[in-house]
Amino acid sequence: MPPPMESSLLLRRVRRAMTGDGMSDASWQQRLNRAVELLATGMNAAVCSVYLMRRESGRAVLELCATEGLDAKAVHKTRLRLGEGLVGDIALHARTLNLADGARHPNFAPRPETNEARFNAFAGVPILRGGEVVGVLAVQNVGARAFPEEDIAELQSVAMVLAELLSDVRLTAQHRLAQAAQRQFEGLGLVEGLALGQVALHMPHVEIGRMIADNVEDEQRRLDAGIYALRRSVDDLLQTEGRARWGEHLDVLETYQMFANDAGWRMRLRAAVRTGLTAEAAVERVLNGMRARLMGQQDAYLRERLHDLEDLSQRLLRLLLQDGASARAALPKDAVLLAHMLGPADLLDYHQQGLRALVLEEGSPHAHVTIVARALGLPMVGRVRNLLASARTGQSVIVDGDLGQVHLMPPPAIVRAHRTRAHKRQREQQSLARLSRLPARTRDGVDVQLCINAGLLVDLQNLEQSGAAGVGLFRTELQFLISARMPRLAEQIAFYASALDAAGDLPVVFRTLDIGGDKIAPYMRQRHEQNPAMGWRALRLALDRPGFLRYQVRALMRAAARRPLHVLLPMVGAAQEYARARALIAREYEHMKRLQHPLPSALKIGAMLEVPALVWELDALLPQVDFLAIGSNDLLQFAFASDRSNPLVSERYDMISPAALSMLSFVVQACARHTTPLSLCGEAAGRPLEALVLMALGVRSLSMPRASLGPVKRMVRSTRLERFRSSMQKLLEQQKPAGADGASLRERLHAAAHRQGISL
C-alpha cells in the first residue's frame, strides 16, 4: 500500500482539481469525480464519497454526487433523508463520525445500489458553509479499524475547501429573485421598541484568498502574532474609558476576554495549521468545527456562545490579513445594523456611532449581544431568515421589536402607521410610568404584590422607581452559563451582594441553580438526554451532586450577611426531595455559625411547584416550606404534555382552560389551608388577562418580566375583583365546550372583562 500523501500537497491537488473557469454542470461533475479519486488515493481509502444537500418535494435530502469505490450507477440516484444512515446522522447533528466497524452502528443503513455493505471502517465529516451543513464527505475501508486522528483532521480541511468551491453552485438565479422580492420579514423580538432608519450592513466575514500553506512554520509564527495582537485589542477594549460605567456588561466583556485567551482555542488553531492550511484557513476551519458542535447542542445558552466565537474569529482574520482599519465603515445617519451574527464588542463599537436598532439572522434572548443591546436601549429583532440576501446599504427600514418584524423599503402607508404607533407607544409609556408611584390595588380594595423576574444586575437598575414590590424570581444560573469556568466563591458572593444592594429594602428571591438537562454550562460534561426538560437538572442534579448546592448556598448566606435571605428550590419532584435539600442548607447554616460568619437576619426556604406529581403531595410538603412559588411555564407544559415552544402543539398549552384552572385552584386552596404564602412566576403572570384570572383564583403575588409591570398594574387598578370572580365562577360552572357558542373559555373571559371596563 503506498504511503499517504502529505496533507498540504493533497489539499493543493483537490483545490486544483475543483477550480477553473466556466464551471458548467458537466465540468463541475468531472472535477468533483477527480477530487474524490484524489482523496481516496491520498488517504489510502477504498471509498471516498461526497453527498450534497438538495431539496426534494419541499424537504432536505442528501444526494450522492460523486464517489470513488462505490457503484458509479448510484451517483445522483442514492438519496438519504436527514438522520437516515451514517451520512444522514452526520448531516442532522453536524458532527464527525469515525467508526472502526460502521456496520455495527445502529444508524447503519446500506443502500443496495451502492454495494457498500462489504466495507467496515467508516469516517465522515460535515461540509459546512457559514455554520450550515451543505453536504457530507465520507471515506470507507474494508478492514475494521478506525481512521487515524490526523486523517480526520485532513478530511475536515478538505471539507472546508469543498464548501468554499461548491458554494456558488447552490444559489440559483430564481432563488435570488425570490429573496430580492421579499420586503417584510418575521423574527423574534429580543428588545422592545420601534425604530425607523437606514440599512447598514455588518460584513464580518473575511474572504480568504490563500488556503494552502507554503511553509507551515511561517504560518505558525503568523498565527501566534495574530493571536497576540487580538488579545491586546480585546484588553484595550476593556480598558477604554467609559466601558466600566456599563457595570453588569463589563462581566459580559470579561467573559469575551476569556475566549480570546483560551488555550484550547489556540491549540486547535495550531493543529489546523499543521494539516497544511494557512493561518487564515485554520481560523475558518476551527470556527466551522465550533459552529457544528455548538449549533448541534440542545442548550440555547451554549449555542449562543457562537456569537462571541464568530466575532473573535473574524477579528483575528482581519488582523492576519492586516485589514483591521476597513472593518468599521462610518454608519449612515439613523443607522439600523443588519448582521448574521454579532459579538458584544462589535455592538459597542457601532453604538458609539449613533446606532438606532439591531437586526440579526441569528440571536436569542440570552445572547451576550442581546444583554448589551437591552442595556443600551436598542430595539432588536433576531432570527430573521434570508434578510441579508435582500437588503442593501442605505435602504429605508423599520424595526419592530414589539412584534418581531422588519420592513425593508416600506411603502408610505406602512411608514405612517409605524410613526403613529411610535407616538402612541411614547404616550403609553409615559402613562404607565406615572402608575409606578401608585399601589397595585383593585377598585374594591384588594392588594396584589407585583414583582419582577431577573437574572442579571441590569434587570435591577432603578428597581424601587419601577413600582415593583421586589424580585420574585432571581435566576442564578445565568452567571454560570455565560462564564467560561465555574464562578469562584468570591465572585458568587460579590454578585449576590450586588443584587441585594441594587434591590435596597425590597426582597429578592434567589432560585438555586437550574442547570443540567438542556442548560449545560461550558465547563460541564454534556450528557445526551432524550427529554432534557424532564431529565437530570435543577434540584435533581443538586441532590446527586450536593457540593453544587452547598457551595452556592454558602455564597448566598455570605452575601446576605445581616439581611433577609429568600432561597427557592427549583424542580422539586417530591416532598422528600425538598426535605433532603433543606437539610443540606441547614448544615451549611450551622457550618457558618461555627465559623462565626455574619448570618442572614432571616432565612426563608421555598419550593417551586413545576412537577404535576407534587400537586398531590402538597399536604406533606406545605408544612415544611416557608413559601411556595408556582412555576407556571414547566407545570403547565408537563400537565398538558405539550412543548410550549413547539408551534405544532402550542395551542394545547393554555392556562385559561378548565383543566389548568382546576389544578391551580386546588393549589391555592391547599396553601390557604396551611397558611403558606403563595406566588406565581412565569410568563402567564405578565399577561393581563392571565394575571386577572390568577387573581380571581386567589393568587395575590405575581412575578413577571419588568416590561409587564405597567400593563398588569393598569389592569389591577381597573378591576373590581369580586365582580369578575363571580362572572368567572359562573362560566366555569357552565362548562360550555369550546365551539358550542363559537367561543373558548379564554374568549368568554376576555369578553366579560371588557364588559366590566377592565383594561387588558
Catalytic positions, written as ranges: 368, 681
State how far the Cα of 196 lies from the Cα of 204, in Å rounded to an integer.
24
3-state secondary structure 586-635: HHHHHHHHHCCCCCCCEEEEEEEECCHHHHCCHHHHCCCCCEEEEEHHHH
Residue 481 near residue 498, CB atoms below 8 Å: no
Q: Which amino acid is at 749?
A: L
Residue 355 near residue 380, CB atoms below 8 Å: no
Place of cell 428588545: 191
Closest CA to 309 of 287, 340, 339, 281: 287
Sign of CA pseudo-dihedral 409, 412, 416, 419:
positive
Tell the burial category of 434 from Cβ atoms under 10 Å away from its Cβ (0-12, 13-18, 19+). Answer: exposed
Q: In Å, how far are 727, 737, 740 from 734, measured between CA atoms? A: 11, 9, 11
**234, 235, 237, 239: CA torsion to nearest 10:** 170
Place of cell 387573581: 695
3-state secondary structure 420-481: HHHHHHHHHHHHHHHHCCCCCECCCCCECEEEEEECCHHHHCCHHHHCCCCEEEEECHHHHH
The DSSP symbol for 702 reads E
> H or E stretch including 188?
strand 188-191
The DSSP symbol for 534 reads G
Place of cell 477604554: 240
State how far the Cα of 88 lies from the Cα of 85, in Å rounded to an integer.
5
**645, 646, 651, 652: CA torsion to nearest 10:** -100
Strands 357-360 and 380-382: parallel
State how far the Cα of 319 lies from the Cα of 342, in Å rounded to an integer.
18
Q: In Å, how far are 163, 274, 572, 648 from 60, measured between CA atoms? A: 17, 35, 41, 20
Strands 335-339 and 357-360: parallel
Instruction: Take residue 92 and report the three cell numbers written for it.
Output: 442532522
Q: Give 4's contacts (C-beta < 8 A, 6+ positions apart).
A: 42, 43, 44, 151
Q: What angle do CA 149, 152, 156 make, to 5 degrees?
A: 140
Closest CA to 191 of 400, 473, 352: 400
Place of cell 484568498: 209
Q: What angle do CA 28, 32, 37 make, to 5 degrees?
A: 150
Place of cell 385559561: 656
Closest CA to 408 of 398, 422, 418, 400: 398
Tell the burial category of 648 from Cβ atoms under 10 Å away from its Cβ (0-12, 13-18, 19+). Answer: exposed
Q: In Å, how far are 113, 127, 306 from 52, measured between CA atoms? A: 18, 8, 25
Closest CA to 460 of 511, 405, 502: 502
Report CA 192 to chain centroid distance, whole Å. Answer: 18
